[in-house]
């Protein structure tokens, strides 16, 4: 940090003064700031915006108002509520952590960063956010909003996800902590990034840090934080097989816990070059002569690649369908509402049920 920059109480006090007048104080996990609610919100907020999280958070809290109730729920029930929020490992880790806290911490949330970071799904920044907001500990968070604020204010060179840049930002974040009101400060710096220091069209005229923000002074705000070096995004192609019977039940298979859509129910999938009927003959002892029909095509984006999906429908006769040791089951339309489905699967099934209702 440069010597002429204000740090600690000066930086923090300006943020707190701004927060007292402008910050978000009525988010559903703030009043009161209970460890369970703070933890639940922080897990949901990983890679997801507040406006998206709020309805999911409210539904979760209604269904599981306490850590004990969440720990007693089945993983399928948890993933069903999580369906559509994405990054499903968060839902699985949420369930694991609830059980661990009940069994190993007697239902009491650990209050320190070092303890919190040992729990599934809680990285250093999330641990700091929980410690600061639930227990008012002097912990420095470093989520996307904070990285953007600090990168601009101190005009930090380098992509924030790069190891050396990340460590530099973390060191600065710790130095910027005030001497009190850690919970409010944590919310303040996140709010500043969400409300003023936004990725596009930042509202610098409303920012309490504008007077000595280096990026602002040098008229390069939109250049910070530095962007990730561009790399061509890979595309993968798959066919999803929508197998249905005369009772309009759908056949789904449960994904293994690890990997994409882990623990969720999905349609069987094959490579784009493979023949659906040949696959079914080999894997399900299917002897009928129904043809595969194209239903729809869609694209789903993961964090590191895009998946282009071609959906084929095939009618199955129960008497001709024998599963060869595959983790699958038949579901009615009503039962589908109570299991965890990947978002593309929900969209496909909604489209299919709508098409056969015409």
In order along its 358 residues, the chain shows pLDDT tens digits of 443 344 656 899 999 999 999 999 999 999 899 999 999 999 999 989 999 999 999 999 999 999 999 999 999 999 999 988 988 999 999 999 999 999 999 999 999 999 999 999 999 999 999 999 999 999 999 999 999 999 999 999 999 999 999 999 999 999 999 999 999 999 999 999 999 999 999 999 999 999 999 999 999 999 999 998 888 889 999 999 999 988 899 999 999 888 889 899 999 999 999 999 888 888 887 665 678 999 999 999 988 899 999 999 998 876 666 666 677 889 999 999 889 998 899 999 999 999 987 5
pTM score, two decimals? Answer: 0.76
pLDDT of residue 230: 82
Can you list the positions of beta strands (E) in the chain? 235-244, 250-254, 265-266, 269-271, 293-301, 306-315, 328-331
Catalytic residue at 115?
no
Give ranges for CATH 3.90.79.10 in the chain.
235-357
pLDDT of residue 303: 83
- For the domain 8-223, what is the CATH code? 1.10.340.30
> Is 306:300 a contact under the CB 8 Å cutoff?
yes
Q: Which pairs count as long-range contacts for 342-347, CB under 8 Å and 24+ apart, including other chains?
A: 342/83, 342/88, 342/261, 342/264, 342/265, 342/266, 343/83, 343/84, 343/86, 343/300, 344/240, 344/298, 344/300, 344/309, 345/240, 345/252, 345/264, 345/265, 345/266, 345/267, 346/83, 346/84, 347/298
Maximum CA extent, the chain: 79
The CA distance from 135 to 116, in Å, is: 12
Q: Which CATH superfamily is domain 235-357 in?
A: Nucleoside Triphosphate Pyrophosphohydrolase (3.90.79.10)
Structure token digits, residue 289: 């002569």
Structure token digits, residue 351: 């489209």
Give ranges for CATH 1.10.340.30 in the chain.
8-223
The CA distance from 195 to 203, in Å, is: 8
Which candidate in 3, 34, 42, 350 is catalytic? 42
Residues facing residue 296 across a β-bridge: 311
């Amino acid at each position: 940090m440069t010597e002429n920059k204000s740090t600690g109480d000066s930086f923090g006090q300006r943020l707190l003064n701004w927060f007292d007048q402008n910050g978000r104080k009525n988010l559903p996990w703030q009043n009161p700031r209970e460890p369970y609610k703070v933890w639940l919100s922080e897990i949901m907020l990983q890679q997801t915006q507040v406006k998206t999280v709020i309805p999911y958070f409210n539904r979760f809290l209604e269904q599981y108002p306490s850590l004990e109730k969440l720990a007693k729920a089945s993983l399928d029930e948890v993933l069903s509520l999580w369906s559509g929020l994405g990054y499903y490992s968060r839902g699985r880790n949420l369930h694991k952590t609830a059980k661990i806290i009940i069994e190993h911490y007697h239902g009491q949330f650990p209050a320190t960063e070092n303890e919190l970071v040992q729990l599934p799904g809680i990285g250093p920044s999330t641990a700091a956010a929980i410690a600061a907001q639930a227990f008012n500990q002097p912990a420095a968070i470093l989520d996307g909003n904070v990285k953007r604020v600090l990168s601009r204010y101190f005009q930090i060179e380098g992509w924030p996800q790069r190891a050396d840049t990340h460590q530099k930002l973390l060191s600065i974040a710790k130095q910027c902590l005030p001497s009190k009101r850690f919970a409010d400060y944590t919310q303040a710096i996140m709010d500043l990034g969400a409300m003023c220091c936004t990725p596009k069209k930042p509202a610098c005229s409303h920012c309490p840090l504008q007077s000595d923000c280096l990026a602002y002074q040098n008229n390069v705000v939109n250049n910070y934080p530095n962007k990730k070096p561009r790399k061509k995004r890979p595309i993968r192609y798959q066919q999803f097989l929508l197998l249905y019977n005369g009772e309009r039940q759908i056949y789904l298979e449960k994904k293994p816990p690890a990997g994409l859509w882990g623990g969720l129910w999905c349609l069987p999938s094959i490579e784009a070059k493979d023949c659906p009927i040949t696959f079914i003959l080999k894997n399900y002892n299917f002897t009928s002569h129904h043809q595969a029909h194209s239903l729809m095509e869609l694209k789903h984006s993961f964090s590191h690649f895009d998946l282009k999906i071609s959906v084929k429908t095939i009618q199955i006769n129960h008497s001709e369908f024998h599963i060869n040791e595959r983790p699958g089951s038949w579901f009615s339309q009503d039962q589908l509402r109570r299991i965890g489905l990947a978002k593309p699967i929900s969209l496909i099934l909604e489209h299919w049920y709508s098409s056969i209702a015409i």
